[in-house]
Amino acid sequence: MNITFLGTNGWYATDLGNTTSTIISSDEFYIILDAGDGIYKIDQYIDTEKPIILLLSHLHLDHIIGLHTFAKLPFTQEINIYGYKGTKNGINLIIKHPYSSPLIDLPVSVQIHDLNEGKRNIGFPLTCKLLVHADPCLGYRLELENKIITYCTDTGLCPNLYELAKDADIFITECSYKPGQEEWGWPHLKPEEAAVVAVKSKVKKLVLTHFDASSYKTLQDRKIAEKKAKTIFPEAIAAIDGLEIMLD
């Protein structure tokens, strides 16, 4: 199973990275985590007829703006989008005239499904729980090929974060704030906070992503965050666009 980070910025794209999107290629599925503008790269990674599933954390623009690029996709298989209740209405309010081509006019078939918290099977076991953020935001726990992948972005510390991360083989979470940074309003994580969650939840690997573009202006800024996280949880890494991780 291969995990590729297509966009690792939060808020807006810069020369350092696109906004948040990650693709997982498993034996049976392509699973995309969020649809920031990094998602435009997925046609470089999807080359079979495996089902495509897109899991949206929430409807902030840096997590859905990449849906605007779907007009270029050549896929014949359907894309199934999942998000918290209200996602279908929210997307249909934005991805339409006069802002963009509506989904119904796209060359690829797209279906949107609203989720509540809880566990379900969408071809594989999926658990979703609300995180703490300015607007409703879901964290996800995927069970694939005898591995547990947890994805939690746009969140402060909360009980559901620990619960979703418990015993995960890989914990992909956000790092919007720099080490020791004062919070400016919305709940987000510092690298040391993400590392503490990784330790307490007994995960095997921590990947930091969703770096606030206004704070993380250089690759060195990310390296400093990675170093801080490693002092608490050695198996931590700061993602960059194009990073590939194999889960054996």
| Separation of alpha carbons 171 and 167, rounded Å | 9
Radius of gyration of the chain, Cα coordinates, nearest whole angstrom: 17
Distance, CA of 207 to chain centre: 11
Angle at 245 between CA 15 and CA 178, to 5 degrees: 50
Q: What is the CATH number of the domain that holds 154?
A: 3.60.15.10
Tens digit of pLDDT per residue, the chain (248 long)? Answer: 999 999 999 999 999 999 999 999 999 999 999 999 999 999 999 999 999 999 999 999 999 999 999 999 989 999 999 999 999 999 999 999 999 999 999 889 999 999 999 999 999 999 999 999 999 999 999 999 999 999 999 999 999 999 999 999 999 999 999 999 987 778 999 999 999 999 999 999 999 999 999 999 999 999 999 999 999 999 999 999 999 999 98
Q: pLDDT tens for residues 157-170? A: 999 999 999 999 99
What are 229's two structure tokens?
Answer: 């996280």
State the total domains in the chain.
1
Angle at 135 between CA 134 and CA 137, to 5 degrees: 110
The range of the structural domain enclosing residue 150 comes to 2-246
